[in-house]
């Protein structure tokens, strides 16, 4: 069994929608399991849900607290509240969301370093949409 073979198995599994595969070479044993279709997933049109910063437990995500238009700065000609690399404290304003002429601050629950700004200024955002990824500071 080498990686080529494993790759071929994985490809076959993908193509046939197999969820479990067992092999035992010379005593010649094989076992193949298809999904049972239990979770009837109707064909969706919606984009897949936003993923959190998987794998890295010190990455945290700041989501939109309401829907509206997201701005990175307080005015078109002002500097952004934060940019990648900035270090922020809990409670700092990271951006604003405008809904029905009202400006709503987006604040951080945590202190940390901004590692990603996920939405451009002036873009509409849904409730719960990911706006920033922060790397939590040790002890913050």
Partner 1 sequence: MFSKVLIANRGEIALRIVCACRELGIRTSVAHSQPDGDSLAVRLADEAVCIGPASSEQSYLNVAAIVTAAAMVGADAVHPGYGFLSESAVLADACQAAGVVFIGPPPHVLRLLGDKARARRVMQAAGLPVVPGTDSFDTPEEGTRLAETLGFPLLIKATAGGGGRGLRVARTARDLEHSLGAARREAAAAFGDPRLYLERYVDEPRHIEFQILADETRALHLGDRECTLQRRHQKLLEEAPAVGLSEETRHRLGGLVVKAALAVGYRNAGTFEFLVDRGGAPFFIEANARIQVEHPVTEMVTGVDLVKEQIRVAAGEGVSFQQTDVRVTGHAIECRVNAEQAETGRPSPGVIRAFVAPGGPGVRVDTYAHAGCMVWPHYDALVAKVVAHGRDRGEAIARMRRALDMFVIEGIETTMPLHRRVLREPDFLAGRFTTSFLERFIT
Task: Kindly list the residues in this chain that would bind its own copies in the complex (CB under 8 A).
Answer: 1, 3, 5-10, 12-14, 16, 18-40
Q: Which is nearer to partner 1, 68 or 112 (CB)?
A: 68
- Whether the CB-CB separation of 131 and 94 falls below 8 Å is answered with yes
Q: Which of 37, 57, 76, 139 binds partner 1 (CB under 8 A)?
A: 37
Structure tokens of 67?
């829907």
- H-only helix segments in the chain: 3-16
Binds 20, which of partner 1, its own copies, none (CB < 5 to 8 A, cut-off by type)? its own copies
Residue with tokens 């939109």: 64
For 45, which DSSP code?
A: -
Binds 54, which of its own copies, partner 1, none (CB < 5 to 8 A, cut-off by type)? none
Q: Which is nearer to partner 1, 25 or 45 (CB)?
A: 45
Q: Which of 3, 22, 27, 43 binds partner 1 (CB under 8 A)?
A: 43
67 binds partner 1 (CB under 8 A): yes
CB neighbours of residue 40 within 10 Å: 5
Binds 66, which of its own copies, partner 1, none (CB < 5 to 8 A, cut-off by type)? partner 1
Query: Computed from CA positions of residues 87, 107, 61, 43, in that sequence, does the dihedral angle turn out positive or negative?
Result: negative
Under DSSP, is residue 100 helix (H, G, I), strand (E, B) or coil?
A: coil
């Amino acid at each position: 069994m080498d990686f080529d073979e494993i790759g071929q198995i994985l490809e076959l599994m993908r193509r046939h929608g197999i969820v479990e595969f067992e092999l035992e070479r010379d005593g010649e044993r094989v076992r193949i399991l298809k999904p049972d279709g239990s979770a009837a997933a109707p064909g969706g049109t919606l984009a897949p849900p936003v993923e959190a910063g998987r794998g890295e437990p010190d990455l945290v995500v700041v989501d939109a607290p309401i829907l509206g238009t997201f701005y990175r700065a307080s005015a078109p000609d002002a500097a952004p509240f934060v940019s990648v690399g900035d270090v922020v404290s809990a409670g700092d304003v990271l951006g604003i969301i405008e809904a029905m002429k009202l400006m709503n601050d987006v604040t951080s629950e945590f202190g940390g370093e901004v590692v990603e700004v996920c939405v451009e200024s002036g873009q509409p955002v849904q409730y719960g949409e990911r706006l920033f990824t922060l790397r939590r500071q040790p002890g913050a």
